[in-house]
Structure 1
Amino acid sequence: MPFQKIVMPTMKELFVRQMENMILSGELSAGEQLPNERDLAAQMNISRTVVNSGIQELAKNGFVCIVPRKGTFVNDFLRQGNLGTLTSIFHHSGRQFDLSMLTALMEYRSINEQKCARLAAERHTAEDLKHMFELLEQLETCCDPEECAEVSTRFHRAIFIATQNLIYPLMYNSFQEMSLAVTRILFRHIPLSHVCSAMRAVAEAIAERDADRAEALMSEHTVRCSQILLEQYPFGSAGTEAGGQAET
């Protein structure tokens, strides 16, 4: 069994992690002003450089708002957050899902994957189709879990790219880490062959430009996956961690 290298977090990472924990736990409330950088550095026994860099990252991830000449304020992240906020919340939970986050993610994926299957059927190019079926064949023959995960990710992205809509594949990439974590859980309860069969049916409908059928098949697949996940909730810790099998 290969062992992974142990990497110590930097002071900036520790600072950001502590601040995120305080915000997510409610210890720092929305609208609250943080101490200035000098005072914060002194209280936490770190350099102002670390504080400044960490505050910038917190702002980028939607946790705080920097107001020139006034200071730094804690955001209401549900109203002012972004995808970086969501990723940080996922990491804060130890890369595990509570029921509300799992349900929210599956609802989001279901709606978007159905729509993208329809658009891909209507708009795909010959090159899109060629790439999609090449990836599908790789998925059907791969055995290594990590390879399956990588190929499946590229296959789903290929459908999103085939929509010819710039936003869809970029949004897909943004949710990739959480989608992979969910898929590792799912693949403990559904055979890869079943997923491949469902995805081949979707790909064939896309190839035939049958948008209604492509959307319906993707809907059937995503609903089934959601049902399986909800039936198996709560999961064991091994199934919720990043790293593992394939994405559906």
Structure 2
Amino acid sequence: MDPLQISPLAVQSLKEACARKLEGFILSGELKIGERLPAERALAQRLGLSRPVLHEALVDLAGKGLVVIEPRRGARIADFRTSGSLALLPSLLAYQEGALDPVFLNSLMEMRLVLEMETARLAAERRTLEQMERLQAHLRREAAADWGDAQTLTALDFEFHLLVAIASNNVLYPMILNSFEKVYTNLTGRFFTGVRGGAAVGEVWAFHAQLGQAVQEQNSPRAAEIMAAMLRHGEAYLRTAGAAAQD
């Protein structure tokens, strides 16, 4: 194949931009389950779109189980727990615009706890010497990092979890973690930004060091225990910060 014969770059259409905007309102909880959207004509005017473009975006959202379009009554926010489909998953994975709706956040935290306790346990059982060396080198990078640089801390934190998943030697676990990178780093970025280089950063790095030690010693129950404590530490902060923001 001629390497120059490539497809044109895709440009996000107005319909896609509209659907993404409305998705963000729903995933963040700004639009609540059961809430009815304004009439299409009025909503289109507010968004600066034509009514047909808005309608196409709503049809896409309906296909994901996010809205229900009712003839002569307009659209309302659907209960995604009963009507959502796998088509919704990419939107959730790509979400990086701020706080998640509490239902989505709870589900994500629960899923992450189950997944990463298992990756930590398997990493302690199966890690190779090369994987252990990479993990130790990463811990040295963390120790040298600027605690005030939230972006760097967020990237280092995700890489640590990914290295643990790789050390599990289950080929699917790192792929699953990579799929959730954007929404994970959205959460951890908020954590590192919120703590502003304070003692909480040292607490996270201490968890990482303890987990690295458990993996090195091939103590799988201890590795799973430390991973659980670390994830609950971050979850507690995010919930406290979220509650404070609502006050």
Question: Are 1:87 and 2:96 matched, yes or no?
Answer: no
Count of equivalent residues? 201
Aligned partner of 1:206: which letter? V
Question: SS state of the match for residue 236, structure 2?
Answer: helix
Q: Output the TM-score relative to the length of structure 2.
A: 0.65
Change (3 A) 1:203 1:18: closer
Aligned partner of 1:172: which letter? L
Instruction: Please name the residue that 1:180 is paired with.
Output: 185
Aligned partner of 2:232: which letter? V
Instruction: Please name the residue that 1:208 is paired with.
Output: 217
Instruction: Please name the residue that 1:102 is paired with.
Output: 105
The answer (yes or no) to whether the contact 2:117–2:225 under 8 Å persists in 1 is: yes
Measure the CA separation in 1 of the matches of 2:59 and 2:125.
42
Unaligned runs of 5+ residues in structure 1 are: 1-7, 29-42, 65-74, 238-248
Question: SS state of the match for residue 132, structure 2?
Answer: helix
TM-superposed CA distance for 1:109, in Å, is 1.6
The answer (yes or no) to whether the contact 1:135–1:152 under 8 Å persists in 2 is: no
TM-superposed CA distance for 1:165, in Å, is 1.0
What RMSD, in angstroms, separates the aligned Cα atoms of the two structures? Answer: 3.7
The answer (yes or no) to whether the contact 2:151–2:189 under 8 Å persists in 1 is: no
Instruction: Please name the residue that 2:125 is paired with.
Output: 122
Question: SS state of the match for residue 170, structure 2?
Answer: coil
Question: SS state of the match for residue 156, structure 2?
Answer: helix
Q: 2:155 aligns with which of 150, 157, 172?
A: 150
TM-superposed CA distance for 1:222, in Å, is 1.8
The answer (yes or no) to whether the contact 1:117–1:218 under 8 Å persists in 2 is: yes
Measure the CA separation in 1 of the matches of 2:242 and 2:221.
32
**Bigger shift: 126-135 or 202-211?**
126-135
Measure the CA separation in 2 of the matches of 1:15 and 1:223.
35
Q: Output the TM-score relative to the length of structure 1.
A: 0.65
Measure the CA separation in 1 of the matches of 2:63 and 2:123.
33
Change (3 A) 1:132 1:55: farther
Question: SS state of the match for residue 221, structure 2?
Answer: helix
Question: Are 1:224 and 2:233 matched, yes or no?
Answer: yes
1:135-174 deviations in Å (ceiling 9; x for gaps): 1111111113322222221111000111111221111112
Aligned partner of 1:158: which letter? L
Question: SS state of the match for residue 191, structure 1?
Answer: helix
Measure the CA separation in 2 of the matches of 1:56 and 1:203.
48
1:65-84 deviations in Å (ceiling 9; x for gaps): xxxxxxxxxx9854652321
**Bigger shift: 188-197 or 126-135?**
188-197
The 5 A counterparts of 1:1-248 are 10-17=13-20, 20=23, 44-45=51-52, 78=81, 81-82=85-86, 83-87=89-93, 90=95, 94-143=97-146, 144-187=149-192, 188-189=194-195, 191-234=200-243, 236=245
